[in-house]
Amino acid sequence: MKFLKKTLWFVGITAVVLAVTALLTHKLLPDNSGRSVSHSLPPQAESSALAAHFLPQIQAHPELSGVYPLREGRDAFLARLALAEAAQQTLDVQYYIWHDDVSGHLLMQALYKAAERGVRVRLLLDDLNTGGLDGLLAAMNAHPNIEVRLFNPFMQRGFRPLGYLSDFFRLNRRMHNKSFTADGVVTVIGGRNVGDEYFGAGTGVMFADLDVAAVGAAARDVGQDFDRYWASESVYPAESIISEAPVAFDTAPAQDAETQGYLKALAELPLARQLADGSLPLEWANTTLISDDPAKGLGKALPENTVLAHIGPVMGAAQNELLIVSPYFVPTQKGTDLLGGIARNGKQVTVLTNSLSATDVAAVHAGYAKYRKDLLHAGVHLFELKPDATVTGAEKGAVVGGSSGASLHAKTFTVDNKTLFVGSFNMDPRSAELNTEMGFLIDSPTLAAQLADGLKQHQAEHTYSVALTPKGDLQWQTLENGQTAAFDTEPNSSVMTRFVVWVCSLLPIEWLL
């Protein structure tokens, strides 16, 4: 009884301290009514070399989009860098994460240099991951041709977690969208944020990811979608949030060996020239932009105006095969029933996600692990990426291949080898209910088949196949040195890691994952 009383006393005191701290540190958001108004501009061939090169192709394919998949990280970075360097009118850039590392700094420099030559730059960042960047963002925002805005900003710029004490339900909703659009004519969207781990720079853990570059109707739609986020209630001009003084901004590339080595490797790729002169080999297809209503950032979006409301019926309509790739796969009971129902109706349902040893968020793995047996019983095929696999451009259509220290980050699915989705949407409750997301639905048997075939070519060697034993236990199988290896527990994981996952699976946190 004494222990219980002490525990209750401690919990009560802690709650009071937190409540008082929340009251003392709470800061109101500034008035947002005086923001400037701007809009995306249509491509103009007379003032944009990009438009001059691509508009004839666009006009020859009315209402279609020219799509080019960016599977390899360095190609994905170079596409963005080349667009920043080629832009002559506008750059509209929207990201969830922007690191100030080698690739992040190079891209920020490219935006600044574009503004120096007269390009209008609009940079929209989610504020969750901008810690330590206030001086840099202030320097960018101080340029007359650059405007920086922040989505759902933290008013406590120092110790940001304090903001959660008084404004949790707003700050828990983030803008997960990712797009990079130049002169209104070429756009890049997909799963990659801006940082070395997404672009094959440095030596740390790399993310296996997928983007697409697109021209035509798709780029037009992304521009219009950027406008509605730029003007949404959740977005604030940087100058109304950031009080830190601008830092000195150097537009010359750093001379360290890592940066120079990365730039040398990029110089060997043909993609920049293909983008600049319009020779990029495009697949022309009906391409639909799907994007959440930005009101979702305040919990005000109607269910029918969400990405999930659009992709759910597409997946459910599979006639032969549904292939899902999602790094953070938390199907929930509703999703498990949906996928299980499709499989029981004779359709092949395959899911590729991270193994426990490859994931960067163990709590999310817990949200997936408790549904594995139900999915397998229903006939869903489960594959988990090994930590030595990543994106490779070595073979056409390949998505996974050999590397060291890797984690799956691509968010894509194919239906019947005809329709392909590429975007920012994870198959989890956070993407479905909390964060804003976007992506393309592409009607292209060529691209859909390339993705499906690429995965199947490499799954034996670079993934674990999860199955049920005759006793109903889980077993992981993979090919190692030409021999089949089987594991009765999560491969390459420690007892402590598995214990943490088990504890997380017991907590009522699925809605946060």
Which tokens sit at 27? 């800061």
Confirm whether 411 is a catalytic residue.
yes
CB atoms within 10 A of CB 90: 23
Q: At what angle do helices 2-25 and 162-171 cross, to 10 degrees?
A: 80
**Which residues are bridge partners to 123 per DSSP?**
93, 148
**Radius of gyration in angstroms for the set of CA atoms belonging to the chain, rounded to a whole number:** 23
CA-CA distance, 480 to 404, in Å (whole number)?
15
Give yes or no: 386 in active site: no
**Catalytic site residue from 365, 370, 409, 462:** 409
Distance CA 320, CA 417 (A): 9
Active-site annotation holds for 183: yes
- What percent helix, strand, coil does the chain show, rounded to 5? 40, 25, 35
Strand partners, 186: 182, 215
**Alpha carbon distance 256, 275 (integer Å):** 28
Q: Which residues of 295-334 are buried (b: 16+ CB within 10 A; e: fewer)?
A: bbbeeebeeeebbbebbeebbeebeebbbbbbbbbbbbee
Among 293, 360, 388, 416, the one annotated catalytic: 416
Out of 183, 196, 221, 225, which one is annotated catalytic? 183
Catalytic member of 105, 178, 310, 418:
178
Return the structure tokens found at 474. 């889980």
Identified catalytic residue from 53, 347, 411, 458? 411
Q: Is 458 an annotated catalytic residue?
A: no
Between CA 497 and CA 207 the distance in angstroms is 21
Hey, CA dihedral for 243, 249, 255, 257, is it positive or negative? positive
Structure tokens, 441: 């639905």
Annotated catalytic residue within 53, 99, 176, 462: 176
Quick check: 152 and 126 in contact, CB under 8 A?
A: yes
Query: What's the rounded Cα separation, in Å, for the pair 94 and 100?
Result: 16
Stated as kind and residue range, the H or E segment containing 51 is helix 49-60
Integer Cα distance of 361 and 328 in angstroms: 8
Burial class from Cβ neighbours inside 10 Å (0-12, 13-18, 19+) for residue 494 reads exposed
Examine the residue annotation and report whether 409 is marked as an active-site residue of this protein: yes
User: What is the number of residues in the chain?
Assistant: 513
- Tell me, letter by letter, the H, E, C secondary structure of 226-288: HHHHHCCCCEEEHHHCCCCCCCCCCCCCCCCHHHHHHHHHHHCCCHHHHHHHCCCCCEEEEEE
370 part of the active site: no
Residues catalogued as catalytic:
176, 178, 183, 409, 411, 416
